[in-house]
């Protein structure tokens, strides 16, 4: 669609539809516009819509009244009635003013991302937005009531889940505490399932950002291997009984170990299960400081079984905290090789005859026995000289070969990273 050509059929059609919606939104208002004109512009790569309504009156219509009339035309997916235009609610300005307060929220939802979730007109977007934003609105209204005016949510990829970015629009006279808002959302999340209110979705509350301020939790990534359970496909489905039951058992086991020792432990999040027999990826979130990874690992693996009735048997060697695994001892193996080597005096008749080489010494013996003894003495010290004296008397020398095996355990570093919240708003739909 060409938004630059004001004479194009597409431009005229869309502007006419918006004009009609703006005109009709004043139908219940005491003052009605005599004309509406809509134009489009490029605003940082997205479409800006400017509608000018002209009134045959000298009375000034309060901007908040116009905003309330307009938001009544905006559906839950931020579409302006039947225009096909999806508006960015927090970009609405009336006569250059914004008669509302905006608080941005962001949080990860534990569901796979697909490209359709970035398209407001898709069924996938509508379904997820209805569950998440619908529940978020219920939670916020339990505290702020009708002062919660609009929620404008976008979804983006944040492996292994979805990043939700929501502008919560409050009435202009609403005083909102960021700390209070954070507590309200966190307290609405049920553990160990991490269920977000009544939405049926699970979320990661440690990723919650309020007004651009991330959580202050210090997180540790914990991997445990459970030997007496077998991995099944049900453990990839967060709605299955197998997933829910094992989540509860592991959550309780970790909590019962760490919480008594670290009372600043705030949350334990079960992230996923993997094959082998069952590998559990989880996150422990602490207030202010976290224990040393080695200490936390030692505490978790000090017993063969996690606490609880399920008797989950751990494999300490395949468990880790922030990539730290149990210490593997470096082993040195000494192998004695018994090879008889004859050291003889060079023949005077054949002074140039090469002496036989000792494959263990990796050189030919071309010096007297006492010379060899001095060389070896310099290498292995006095005890070796005594040993050589005994062996030299018999004309034989046994030289042990030291073979050292330096076992270095594989270090697997698990980390989580989240991109800075940035949302690109596009108007979709239209002809």
pLDDT tens for 77-114 read 899 888 888 888 999 999 889 999 999 999 999 999 99
Where in the sequence is the domain holding 306, given as residue range(s)?
217-321
- Joined together, the tokens standing for residue 323 give 């990539």
In a domain, 430, yes or no: no
Instruction: Label residue 299 exposed, middle or buried (CB < 10 Å: 0-12, 13-18, 19+).
Output: middle
When pLDDT is cut at 50, 70 and 90, the band that residue 120 belongs to is: very high
pLDDT of residue 403: 36
Instruction: Let me know: does 380 contact 389? Beta carbons within 8 Å.
Output: no
Do residues 226 and 208 share a domain? no
Is 418's pLDDT higher than 50?
Answer: no
Is 195's pLDDT higher than 90?
Answer: yes
Do residues 163 and 182 share a domain? yes
Do residues 304 and 340 share a domain? no
Lowest mean pLDDT, pick from 37-41, 135-139, 332-336? 332-336
Q: What is the mean pLDDT of the chain?
A: 80
- CA-closest candidate to residue 297, choices 285, 313, 314: 314
Q: With the CA atoms of 70, 73, 77 and 80 taken in that order, what torsion angle do they form, in degrees rounded to the nearest 10?
A: -80
Query: 244 by DSSP, 3-state: which?
Result: helix
Do residues 122 and 151 share a domain? yes
Do residues 50 and 133 share a domain? no
pLDDT of residue 368: 54
Q: Please name the residues in contact with 19: beta carbons below 8 A apart, sequence gap of 6 or more.
A: 36, 37, 38, 51
Q: Of all residues in the chain, what percent carry a pLDDT higher than 90? A: 53
In a domain, 414, yes or no: no
308 phi-psi bin (left φ>0, alpha ψ -120 to 50, beta other): left
Do residues 120 and 207 share a domain? yes
Is 123's pLDDT higher than 80?
Answer: yes
Length of the chain: 431
Question: Please, what's the b/e burial string for 61-74 (b: 16 or more CB within 10 A of its CB; e: otherwise)?
Answer: bebeebbbbbbebb
pLDDT of residue 383: 53
Instruction: Label residue 253 exposed, middle or buried (CB < 10 Å: 0-12, 13-18, 19+).
Output: buried
When pLDDT is cut at 50, 70 and 90, the band that residue 279 belongs to is: very high
pLDDT of residue 29: 85
Is 213's pLDDT higher than 90?
Answer: yes
Q: Which residues on neighbouring strands pair with residue 404, listed in sequence order?
A: 332
In a domain, 351, yes or no: no
Instruction: Let me know: does 223 contact 280? Beta carbons within 8 Å.
Output: yes
- Return the number of other C-beta atoms located less than 10 Å from residue 406's C-beta: 7
Is 360's pLDDT higher than 50?
Answer: no
Question: Please, what's the b/e burial string for 27-43 (b: 16 or more CB within 10 A of its CB; e: otherwise)?
Answer: eeeeeebeebebebeee
Lowest mean pLDDT, pick from 231-245, 311-325, 365-379? 365-379
Is 338's pLDDT higher than 50?
Answer: no
The continuous run of DSSP H or E covering 222 comes out as: strand 217-226
Instruction: Let me know: does 384 contact 398? Beta carbons within 8 Å.
Output: no
**Which residue would you say has higher pLDDT here, 4 or 411?**
4
Is 335's pLDDT higher than 70?
Answer: no
Mean pLDDT of the 262-273 span? 95
Cα separation, 340 vs 395, in Å, equals 9
Please report, for the domain that includes residue 13, its CATH number. Answer: 3.30.300
**Which residue would you say has higher pLDDT here, 330 or 147?**
147
Lowest mean pLDDT, pick from 140-149, 269-278, 366-375? 366-375
**Which residue would you say has higher pLDDT here, 376 or 127?**
127
Is 364's pLDDT higher than 70?
Answer: no
Is 177's pLDDT higher than 90?
Answer: yes
Number of domains the chain contains: 4
Convert the pLDDT of each residue in 35-82 to its tens digit: 899 888 877 777 888 988 898 877 778 899 999 999 999 998 899 888
In a domain, 166, yes or no: yes
Q: Please name the residues in contact with 315: beta carbons below 8 A apart, sequence gap of 6 or more.
A: 225, 226, 227
Cα torsion angle, 134, 136, 139, 145, sign: negative
- Return the number of other C-beta atoms located less than 10 Å from residue 53's C-beta: 19
Helices marked H in 168-240: 178-187
pTM assigned to the model: 0.69
């529940």: which residue's tokens? 135
Do residues 256 and 315 share a domain? yes
């Amino acid at each position: 669609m060409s938004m630059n050509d004001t004479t194009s059929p597409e431009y005229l059609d869309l502007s006419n539809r918006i004009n009609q919606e703006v005109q009709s939104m004043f139908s219940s208002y005491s003052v009605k516009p005599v004309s509406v004109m809509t134009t489009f512009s490029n605003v940082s790569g997205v479409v800006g819509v400017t509608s000018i309504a002209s009134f045959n009156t000298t009375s000034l219509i309060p901007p908040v009244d116009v905003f309330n009339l307009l938001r009544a035309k905006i559906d839950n997916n931020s579409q302006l009635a039947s225009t096909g235009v999806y508006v960015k609610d927090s970009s609405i300005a009336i006569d250059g003013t914004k008669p509302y307060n905006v608080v941005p929220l962001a949080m990860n939802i534990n569901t796979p991302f697909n490209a359709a979730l970035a398209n407001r007109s898709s069924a996938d977007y509508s379904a997820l937005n209805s569950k998440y934003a619908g529940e978020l609105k219920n939670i916020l209204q339990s505290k702020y009531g009708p002062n919660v005016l609009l929620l404008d949510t976008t979804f983006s990829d944040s492996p292994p889940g979805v990043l939700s970015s929501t502008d919560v629009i409050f009435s202009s006279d609403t005083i909102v505490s960021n700390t209070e808002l954070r507590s309200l959302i966190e307290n609405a999340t049920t553990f160990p399932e991490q269920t977000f209110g009544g939405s049926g979705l699970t979320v990661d509350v440690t990723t919650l950002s309020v007004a651009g301020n991330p959580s202050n939790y210090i997180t540790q990534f914990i991997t445990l291997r459970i030997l007496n359970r077998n991995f099944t496909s049900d453990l990839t489905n967060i709605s299955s009984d197998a997933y829910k039951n094992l989540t509860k058992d592991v959550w309780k086991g970790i909590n019962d170990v760490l919480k008594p020792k670290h009372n600043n432990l705030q949350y334990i999040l079960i992230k996923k299960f993997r094959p082998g027999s069952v590998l559990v990826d989880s996150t422990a979130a602490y207030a202010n400081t976290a224990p040393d990874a080695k200490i936390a690992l030692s505490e978790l693996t000090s017993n063969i079984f996690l606490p609880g009735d399920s008797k989950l048997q751990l494999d300490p060697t395949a468990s880790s905290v922030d990539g730290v695994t149990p210490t593997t001892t470096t082993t040195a193996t000494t192998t004695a090789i018994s090879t008889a080597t004859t050291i003889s005096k060079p023949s005077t008749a054949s002074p140039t005859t090469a002496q036989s080489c000792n494959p263990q010494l990796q050189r030919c013996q071309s010096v007297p026995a006492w010379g060899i003894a001095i060389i070896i003495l310099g290498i292995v010290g006095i005890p070796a000289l005594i040993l050589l004296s005994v062996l030299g008397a018999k004309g034989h020398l046994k030289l042990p070969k030291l073979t050292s095996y330096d076992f270095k355990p594989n270090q697997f570093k698990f980390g989580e990273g989240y991109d800075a919240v940035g949302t690109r708003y596009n108007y979709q739909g239209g002809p």
